[in-house]
Amino acid sequence: MWITDPSKTDHVKGSRMEKLKLWQKITVEIKHELDQANFKTWFGNCFLKEVVDDILVITAPSAFIKEQVTLRYLDLLTEAAEKILGKKVKIELVVESNNNHKTVPVEEIFEAPAPSQINILNPKYTLENFVVGMSNNVAFAAAQAVVQNPGISYNPLFIYGGTGVGKTHLMLGIGHAILKKNPALKVIYCSSEQFTNDFVSAIQNHRMGDLRAKYRLAQLLLIDDIQFFSGREGTQEEFFHTFNELQSKNSQMIITSDRSPHEIAKLEDRLRSRFAGGLMVDIQPPDFDTRVAILKAKANEWGTTLPEEALKLIAASSEVSIRELEGKLLQIIQVLKAQNLPTTTENITLFLNKTPKKLPALSHQQVLTIICHYFNLANKDLIGPKRQKELVLPRHLAMYILSEELGMTVERIGQILGGRDHTTVMHARDKIKNLITKDKEMQQIFIEIKQELSTN
Ligand code: ADP
Ligand code: MG
């Protein structure tokens, strides 16, 4: 039944073209929030099927996409639709694989989706742009061996090391290289948090069959940050069986972790020994020369060249995490650009002297206080239930900072911020991460808050 109240139907009439147009408007909103690879992966083959009263029925091409979109992006989708339609709506996702919505010339509106598996892997991270140095050459050699003989020699490949040293990059690089040789391969990449979420929701919805079909049919399984399995008995049990099945089928598994299997607390012994039974390689914090080489490569990727001296200064300013170094490089480039200053060694020294080296150890309460102070909010509003725009951004930023800077788990962050669901936290964190790389204003806010945090 189509809405008949004309005041509500400006955007929507029954024709297929109109639905496509409405869907296009909604996806434009969504595109603001997601990078292109993610957008294509999750929304590239979703369509607006119908609008029934206040319900928008969206088709997803598979149960997997439906599940993931529901889990990660339902709020975003709802907000986007509400913004376009100017009223409250509910989104309902249905699986429709051969939907006839595709028979209209959607190419006019949408970019053609690339093969779905490649989409899932962030195209930024390849073996070609992975800089090899003393700290990671063993891991890189292992990666090449796995690419040559997936599933056979080293299964699983277990990559461990501190945060920001390139574990995810290397794992996805292997994924791309294997896919290049065999584009039809069924690849699944997920964080251990996502696997856990999938498992929990499969139990709740009595859909264990779907979960098993999904993971156990993978021919290449990439699981990031497995340390979050710690203490999750049910998930570990399920993963153990997945693991065995994939191993018996010679399906390659790659696992990353911030520590070795022996150091992961509350991990079942049988999993520990499975993880250690393949090839374990660690990535060390990069030495100075590698840091310089990586900075140079990143600057090139972003279309800038910096004097060697300047690269060295930046490389010397932080030792452990490449992610941090990269963030600093990006900040420098942007700040200098915004002030119309050339990227000379002098200007960079000035910048580095102004920005403190590292955030001091902060409690989550201090972070919340600083954010409230910065945005002039009451703590109770920040953690409260209200969802006004003025509250949502600070709240999301808080989630991001607690996750990225304090390394807290999404579950704990959800609790701290008024008992919110951890999927909300994941979504918020990713959204802010994305905004910080794209949005000037957001970068400024972030730099200022970081300065507040570091002087506290
Ligand atoms: P981890 O998963 O270990 O926390 P990531 O793989 O996310 O770290 O790497 C953090 C950032 O550093 C990414 O942007 C990545 O591209 C970059 N990086 C890490 N190691 C290298 C490397 N050897 N060459 C190029 N970039 C790297
Ligand atoms: Mg990682």
CATH number of the domain that 12 lies in?
3.30.300.180
In a domain, 252, yes or no: yes
> What's the rounded Cα separation, in Å, for the pair 241 and 384?
41
Number of domains making up the chain = 4
In terms of domains, do 239 and 272 share one? yes
Long-range CB contacts (< 8 A, 24+ apart) of 382-389? 382/417, 383/416, 383/417, 383/418, 384/418, 385/418
In terms of domains, do 303 and 250 share one? no
* pLDDT for position 112: 32
Which residues, judged by CB distance below 6 Å to any ligand atom, belong to the binding site of ligand 1? 125, 129-131, 136, 161, 163-169, 294, 297, 322-323, 326
In terms of domains, do 156 and 53 share one? no
What's the chain's length in residues?
Answer: 456
In terms of domains, do 375 and 436 share one? yes
What's the CA-to-centroid distance between 283 and ligand 2, angstroms?
Answer: 12
**Structure tokens belonging to residue 259:** 């520590």
pTM across the whole model: 0.60
Q: What is the DSSP string of 18-70?
A: HHHHHHHHHHHHHHHHS-HHHHHHHHTT-EEEEEETTEEEEEESSHHHHHHHH
Residue with CA at minimum distance from ligand 1 atom 4: 164
Residue with CA at minimum distance from ligand 1 atom 25: 130
The b/e string for 290-300 (b: 16+ C-beta within 10 A; e otherwise) is bbbbbbbebbe
> What's the rounded Cα separation, in Å, for the pair 169 and 121?
10
Residue with CA at minimum distance from ligand 1 atom 9: 166
In terms of domains, do 315 and 410 share one? no
In a domain, 335, yes or no: yes
In terms of domains, do 268 and 301 share one? no
In terms of domains, do 75 and 141 share one? no
- Nearest ligand to the C-alpha of residue 259? 1
The CATH number of residue 328's host domain is 1.10.8
Ligand 1, pocket-test mutation among 169, 226, 257, 403, most atoms within 8 A of CB: 169
In a domain, 43, yes or no: yes
Q: Are 398 and 417 in contact (CB under 8 A)?
A: yes
In terms of domains, do 249 and 149 share one? yes
In a domain, 147, yes or no: yes
Residue with CA at minimum distance from ligand 1 atom 21: 166
In a domain, 412, yes or no: yes
In a domain, 125, yes or no: no
Q: Taking Cα atoms as reference points, which of 151, 24, 170, 15 lies closest to residue 84?
A: 24
- Nearest ligand to the C-alpha of residue 165? 1
In a domain, 131, yes or no: no
Looking at 283, 308, 332, which one is the last position of a domain? Answer: 283
In terms of domains, do 210 and 279 share one? yes
> What's the rounded Cα separation, in Å, for the pair 212 and 209?
5
In a domain, 112, yes or no: no
Ligand 1, pocket-test mutation among 189, 283, 322, 436, most atoms within 8 A of CB: 322
Helix (H/G/I), strand (E/B), else coil: 362: coil
Query: How far is CA 107 from each of CA 59, 100, 210, 351, rounded to the nearest angstrom?
Result: 17, 14, 31, 46
In terms of domains, do 385 and 304 share one? no
pLDDT tens, residue order, the chain (456 aa): 343 344 444 444 567 778 888 998 999 899 888 777 678 778 888 889 988 889 999 998 777 678 778 888 899 999 999 999 999 999 999 988 654 443 333 323 333 333 334 447 888 899 999 999 999 999 999 999 999 999 987 999 999 999 899 999 999 999 999 999 998 899 999 999 889 999 999 999 999 999 999 999 999 999 999 999 999 999 999 999 999 999 999 999 999 999 999 999 999 999 999 999 999 999 999 999 999 999 999 999 888 889 998 899 899 887 778 988 998 898 888 888 888 888 888 888 888 877 654 556 788 999 999 999 989 899 999 999 998 888 999 999 999 999 888 888 899 999 999 999 999 999 999 899 888 777 778 877 887 888 788 776
Looking at 223, 248, 283, which one is the last position of a domain? Answer: 283
The CATH number of residue 217's host domain is 3.40.50.300
> What's the rounded Cα separation, in Å, for the pair 201 and 214?
14
Instruction: Show the domain range for 269.
Output: 137-283
In terms of domains, do 167 and 246 share one? yes
Looking at 353, 384, 406, which one is the last position of a domain? Answer: 353
In terms of domains, do 241 and 317 share one? no
